[in-house]
Structure 1
């Protein structure tokens, strides 16, 4: 089944299909004739034992009318199970896991050497008054109100229903203009015994601002809720109600001592540690989406792993790694493993400040699909550790390529792309030391101790997808990917001992590789055991620090209303 079938995640955030509909797992319903669509959403899942904590951030555009969001959940949620969060936490998680671009300059081969050092990051480092009952009696439609309470600007009702027609009728009778075609999509959840979390928003408690297009825009308080279920899944099918073209889905999972992948769709890792041309500095987003689309074309229907690393460390870091307080915000305080040590009102043992973050793995999964047919909900499973995208040389002297299985080791995989600048000054010493990379060389010729900092790729759903991947990458990277590239020298190739064969490669390398289409267009852990191709350059003799440029928070992908779990047939 194609990943397009995941279209249930698609912009169900729209009541009328907007030009930029985005993806999420339930749908919005608006009061009266209001028309709304989701603009940007970030989702974070935590998993420990049978407990799932789901946090989501929602932006919407539309007239300032009351509206609600409908989310299928496996159990009746209580007031203590739901809370609002500060929006900044989602930008933190997204930025840490986003694809990154690093830029290295070869240091003066004749400058006095500085001490060698190991790469960093190798391992792990409430409620208010109860709202009034709905005007239309629930019993008339076979709908039961299981619970109702208020959290922040949300008036929350937990519903159960005997059939989808009744639930559809109740929502419409209570003046919720639900998307056309939603009723049959509700049926599988009702048949499996799911409940429905309906969070109505009181816009008098929401601040609106005018967006660039003149429309009212509001950022709602992020929601967090938790529940227990044998299955770890993300319901996606309700989003079919408003599918509109290709959609992006980003899922961030914080798993206790484990990374996750999907169990019912193919998995592939993004090609990483590719050398790119200098122009990518100004067009990192278009480069990355062209690489992503190329990878998906070579692995139809796949969900792509872009990041899997300890939550307590990163290398290179666009900003500091997550700390204990942020993990508590995202739900560590309600996980079974930490109930005693992080219980409400209990002082936190100082020793937990590092230990608990180091026990979590942050994984980022990325899918892109359309609404061609009905898909399965995403089901997640524990996956073995992998590494990749590090400035590490392997035993053959080549830079690490692809995803390398780690056995029982730590997860250290990331989408990382490199601009290298070979030394262009004089080389007048007897024994020059080539291939030492760092920040821009100092004017006095000494080696620069500054730490190169990464740029991260965000707003990917709206990035320009019209450009050719071969225009971004170096010839040897084109050979790895199986794409034709423009003629040109390898950045930094002349500066690396043992890499002379790469110096002077041109478009012919890409043309030859085109015949090998599929050569590491994407890699799975099983397919990447050797670590692979010759490096364009690089090694461990550089350091990338935690500081980095910030980027605006707008994923434009919308995973909005997420809910829980329906029984899903495991993909053969």
Structure 2
């Protein structure tokens, strides 16, 4: 007979296992404190030392007319950081202003999924008879530039301290940023080299709440950046510095439907809306103008940010419209809410009863025509 083997754990072994779990949890917590660097789709966002900041969601609306590109960015952040900084490379001299907070809400309304009803015949869970619940359905002066760095301008815009810079040396650019309150990591220097080689310029932003002692939390005021560009490009390369998966949402307003040329190391970009806006209004018109424009909405995930190897270069594709559809499942009814299945089942039973009754009557009528008595004793009397 096969015996049962039991493993006896001593108190010492259990204690060691508990300590191992505690140590692992502490390591995770300490790791999040000593490496508090996060990235967003437009560049690297870094908090002050010993503070943490996370980007819950980054959205950008991009307008390109073939010559000029405007990027409006909105961040939703959390953490305990009083200050944070990020840098965005741009291909030419940039102008920076505050964006309209109403822009993204207006874009969301324009791109809402189409609502359709989808009917089913048989009742499902939550529908009678499976339930009885019928409820109602200030600018700071720019310090002298270090060798290799040019200061185009520096201004205060709401919660943003903005510096517009040129650079011929990534090391000098990193040194200037750290010397002027933009606490960015040393490893950023190497990541900036491709932009220095292409003679791009930079928008460096330091986020600091205007209230004393306040932390960066919630939805930040959008920032609007405009620059000349012969192609529609969205800077992404610096996001390879991120230590956590990234998500990018892009609203692209242009003459035609626009899509990325490649996934640049992320998942395949998903188009969630593509269509023509005949009459832009309000905040959308302030960005795109009041003439008809094509709007394309893109979503993309970067599970492994270190694989990002380029910026997004968008190209014109066929102007095929697309809108997501959300279905509401409803039970098929008629005549003020009577389920069709009930009528069908009830009608079937009634039809069966009527058919049976008619069959009996036909049989009896046939017997009468044949002269056969219909009573139960008819056969006995005939024999007598």
Superposition deviation, residue 378 in structure 1: 0.9
8 Å Cα contact 2:100-2:283 kept in structure 1: no
Deviation at 1:105, TM superposition (A): 4.8
- Equivalent residue number for residue 505 of structure 1: none
Is the aligned partner of 1:195 residue 2:234? no
8 A Cα contact 1:237 1:377, kept in partner: yes
1:174 to 176, 180, 187: 180
The structure with the largest strand share of the pair is 2
Aligned residue for 1:68?
85
Q: TM-score, normalised by structure 2?
A: 0.66
Aligned positions of 1:112-127 closer than 5 A: none
| Residue number in structure 2 paired with 1:260 | 258
- Distance (whole Å) between structure 1 residues aligned to residue 164 and residue 85 of structure 2: 13
- CA deviations over 1:448-483 (Å, ceiling 9, x no partner): xxxxxxxxxxxxxxxxxxxxxxxxxxxxxxxxxxxx
Distance 1:304 1:218 in 2: 26
Question: Given the superposition, is the C-alpha separation of residues 43 and 207 from structure 1 closer, same or farther in structure 2, using an over 3 Å criterion?
Answer: farther
> Match of 1:414?
323
Q: CA deviation at 1:255?
A: 1.4
Higher gyration radius (CA):
2
Report the CA distance shift for 1:192/1:93 in structure 2 as closer, same or farther (over 3 A): same
Residue of structure 2 aligned with 1:138, choices 120, 139, 145: 145
Q: Which residue of 1 aligns with 2:332?
A: 423
Q: Cα 1:90–1:207, aligned 2, differ >3 Å: closer, same or farther?
A: farther
Displacement of 1:191 in angstroms is 1.0
Q: Quickly say closer, same or farther: Cα 1:327–1:144, change in 2 above 3 A.
A: same
Aligned partner of 1:248 in structure 2 is 247
| Counterpart position of 2:60 | 43
Q: Distance in 1 between matches of 2:170 and 2:259?
A: 31
Return the TM-score normalized by structure 1.
0.45
Q: In the alignment, is the contact (CA less than 8 A) between 1:22 and 1:248 conserved in 2?
A: no
Contact 1:153–1:203, Cα closer than 8 Å, also in 2? yes
After superposition, the C-alpha distances for 1:22-51 in whole angstroms (9 at most, x for unaligned) are 642211244454432222222111111211
User: Contact 2:140–2:155 at 8 Å: present in 1 too?
Assistant: yes
- 88, 104, 120: which one pairs with 1:90? 104
2:165–2:203 contact (8 Å) kept in structure 1: yes
Q: How far apart, in 1, do the equivalents of 2:80 and 2:141 lie?
A: 24
Q: Partner residue of 2:295?
A: 362
Partner residue of 1:308 out of 274, 282, 295: 274
Post-superposition offset of 1:310: 1.8
Q: Which residue of 2 aligns with 1:24?
A: 41
Contact 2:102 2:283 in 1 (8 A): no
CA distance in structure 1 between the aligned counterparts of 2:179 and 2:224, rounded to whole angstroms: 28
Higher helix fraction: Structure 1 or Structure 2? 2
Q: Could you tell me which residue of structure 2 aligns to residue 224 of structure 1?
A: 224
User: 1:48/1:190 Cα in 2 relative to 1: closer, same or farther (>3 Å)?
Assistant: same
Please tell me whether the aligned partners of residues 61 and 250 of structure 2 are also in contact (alpha carbons under 8 angstroms): yes
CA distance in 2, matches of 1:200, 1:15: 21
Deviations 1:222-272 (A, max 9, x none): 111211111211110101112313x3222111113x111122349xxxxxx
- 8 Å Cα contact 2:47/2:183 also seen in 1: yes
Q: What is residue 281 of structure 2 aligned with on the other side?
A: 324
SS in 1 for 2:309: coil
* Aligned pairs (5 A) from 1:342-491: 356=291, 359-369=292-302, 370-386=304-320, 412-425=321-334, 442-443=336-337
SS across alignment from 1:92: helix
Cα drift, residue 218 of structure 1 = 4.1
Indicate the residue corresponding to 1:295 in structure 2.
none
SS at match of 1:193: coil
1:151 aligned to which of 150, 157, 163: 157
* C-alpha separation in 2, matches of 1:419 and 1:60: 33
Distance 1:360 1:196, change over 3 A: same
Q: Which secondary structure does the structure 2 equivalent of 1:139 belong to?
A: coil
Cα gap change, 1:68 to 1:265, in 2 (>3 Å): closer
Q: Determine the C-alpha separation between the residues in 2 that align with 1:26 and 1:152.
A: 20
Q: Could you say what secondary structure the match of 2:82 adopts?
A: coil
Mark the runs of 5 or more structure 2 residues left unpaired by the alignment: 1-32, 122-137, 339-384
Distance across 2 between alignment mates of 1:89 and 1:364? 14
- Indicate if the aligned counterparts of 1:15 and 1:28 stay in contact, CA closer than 8 A: no
